[in-house]
Chains A and B, each alone.
Chain A
């Protein structure tokens, strides 16, 4: 593939928002890739309605654009976006809000779409995106969030699942979108921020927390074992996972649904050492892959691969951000890829971490021999990001291994493109980080003071003020959150 590094460098300079921190050669290539990938979305009208039900994912990818590939660079959100990107975000918000206004009531649920809209609109609003008075929409952001939240909560099945348009089946692919949307809605409803109207809504926050806890408990209790790939069937007595549907219906765990089952449990208040989370992490560790799903995804291997990359990275990134340390003997987020395929329990499909020092530069981004990425650390992020960069084409699409859009629906194309971007951006989908009390995406003295003022207050499920999840908010949480501050000495 012909190098386009010169043009890409110019594009990166003109497209990047904010001021960038120092970055490594790989991080610079990641930044270039993200900017190209977002331009692919814009060129194909993803922000003006062409992405349809995938507009939420595309919008999320635009909100998560960063000034550099340096992990310490925060997402731009709306406020930090360039003027061009702000226009795109407003256009996408208008599309989603007006569509939502016309789809009111429990019978109008599309779980995939509405879960996405919840996290995209929450992210847009919480980072300063203008409301109805500027957008000219028929309803406010708060009203749109309420419609979406009420539909999703109202359609949750008694067991805790969602189906495509109701609670009538045990579909995990829709359930994870519902949970991801509700988690972002929780952040929205506990926020002190105001658009045209205040976002805070304690009653809805409570109903969201209850719904999230129910689904989390369901996943934690999963009895799913084994794998569709017979050579990596049951690998240990304690591993568990989740497939496309409930294990009660005979579905064996899949990589992507087990991965999303981890963050579903985290949203309900679990942490890295919770038994259910450990069972799922063990299942994935035993079958860790980044190249493809290799028959460990129940079905739809191509479409599910990109989703697997995001869902499995997102869960581990949430654990990293929470500061949770695995207890001795437990699986941690940095353990993926450390177990060779022949090691017990043997699984020939399992992959080990890529060695950044042994790889040349991805040709699309310019010349660079073996060792060009040697500044990187082995691990899940490099595995995924390097794999993704290798699939990108000169037009920005991540389709080199799929066939360029041939026979693929807008949903398939735009969701796939967005998933890839969200991995590169280390996105957690507007999930409120522990300690980030005001939900502004950073931890500073404002948050620490709020936690200090909450000492002795009983925490709610998944309370971001209870850093160590020990059921009390005390001075230890204050200190531990101080250590999580975005800037030194918690300067805002």
Chain B
């Protein structure tokens, strides 16, 4: 029951892969890529569709979720300092091992920010480098809303929220294919059979146990 509630809460927090909220797009690129088992792979988060003052980017707070069974986060790199005129307030949090929280803001004055992003409608924000697991599989990289922080994740030149749509990505590993759950190996079938037998045994024992409250202590 608790697991179901948790799953529902997590599902509610996840932003759909592409939710239209405005002309600005924050995306993970490349949208689809493949990496060998045990290899390293880099995904870059960028912003596009900036319209000029006041719709320029002054700050962001983004959480990227991924399957930790498929990928291990190795490093991160901030890429956008040149577009903010320096004075960065970068912050990275591993998100408890299930996500990457990337926060950045700048001391830039509005006029300087306008100059730094003049004529530029998009640029890379940061990249994340992962190591792939030794298994054929795939994982989505998705934007997620963070409790107590949502719904604001981007700030415009005036410090107000900047509406955007968010587009995630997929990384496949080895023979894995994005969107297709890998067919288990024979060894995996055997392991699954053992698990099912064990589950059945526990269920039978519970059914034979007296119901709570029917037997005096």
The chain A residues found within 8 Å of chain B, CB to CB, are 445, 448-449, 452-453, 455-458, 472-476, 478-480, 482-483, 485, 488-490
Contacts and interface: CB of A to CB of B under 8 A. Distances in A.
Contacts of A453: 91
26 contacts: A448-B89, A448-B105, A449-B89, A452-B91, A452-B105, A455-B149, A456-B149, A474-B61, A475-B59, A475-B105, A475-B149, A475-B153, A475-B154, A476-B160, A476-B161, A479-B58, A479-B59, A480-B159, A482-B58, A482-B105, A483-B110, A483-B158, A483-B159, A489-B108, A489-B109, A490-B107
B87 A490 contact: yes
Contact of B159 (A458, A473, A476): A476
Contacts of B108: 482, 489
A455 to B, nearest CB: 6
Contacts of B20: none
B147 interface: yes
B61 A479 contact: no
Q: Which 10 A-B pairs have the closest CB atoms?
A: A480-B159, A479-B155, A475-B61, A479-B159, A489-B107, A479-B59, A490-B107, A456-B148, A474-B149, A478-B105
A456 B147 contact: yes
A449 B108 CA distance: 14
A445 B152 CA distance: 22
B78 interface: no
Contact of A479 (B87, B105, B149): B105
B109 A488 contact: yes
Given A476-B159, A483-B159, A489-B108, A455 B103 contact: yes
A228 B148 CA distance: 48
A42 B105 CA distance: 47
B115 interface: no
A475 B106 contact: no
Contacts of A478: 59, 89, 105, 155
B123 interface: no
B146 interface: yes
A contact patch SS:
helix
The contact size tier of chain B is 20 to 34
B60 interface: yes
A113 B152 CA distance: 45
Contacts of A473: 148
A451 to B, nearest CB: 9
| B-side interface mostly | loop
Given A455-B149, A475-B152, A489 B105 contact: no
Contacts of B59: 475-476, 478-479, 482
B63 to A, nearest CB: 11
A475 to B, nearest CB: 4
Contacts of A448: 89, 105, 107
Contact of A455 (B58, B61, B87, B109): B61
Interface string B34-64: 0000000000000000000000001111000
Looking at B89, B147, B149, B154, the one whose CB has the most chain A CB atoms below 10 A away is B89
A455 B90 CA distance: 13
A348 to B, nearest CB: 41
A489 B113 CA distance: 11
B147 A482 contact: no
A239 to B, nearest CB: 30
A474 B152 contact: yes
Interface in B102-152: 103, 105-110, 146-149, 152
B104 to A, nearest CB: 8
A483 B146 CA distance: 24
Nearest to A453: B91
Contacts of A455: 61, 103, 149
B155 A476 contact: yes
Given A474-B149, A480-B159, A482-B105, 15 more contacts: A448-B89, A452-B89, A452-B103, A455-B61, A456-B147, A472-B149, A474-B61, A475-B149, A476-B59, A476-B152, A476-B160, A479-B58, A488-B109, A489-B87, A489-B108
B107 A485 contact: yes
A479 B160 CA distance: 8
A378 to B, nearest CB: 26
Nearest to B112: A489
Contacts of A479: 58-59, 105, 155, 159
Nearest to A445: B107
B148 A472 contact: yes
Nearest to A323: B159
A178 B109 CA distance: 39
Interface in B87-102: 87, 89, 91
Interface in B146-205: 146-149, 152-155, 158-161
Contacts of A482: 58-59, 105-108, 159
A227 B153 CA distance: 48
B148 to A, nearest CB: 5
Contacts of B148: 456-458, 472-473
A478 B91 CA distance: 12
A336 to B, nearest CB: 26
Interface centre among A445, A455, A479, A490 (most CB of B within 10 A): A479
A179 to B, nearest CB: 29
A332 to B, nearest CB: 17
Nearest to A452: B89
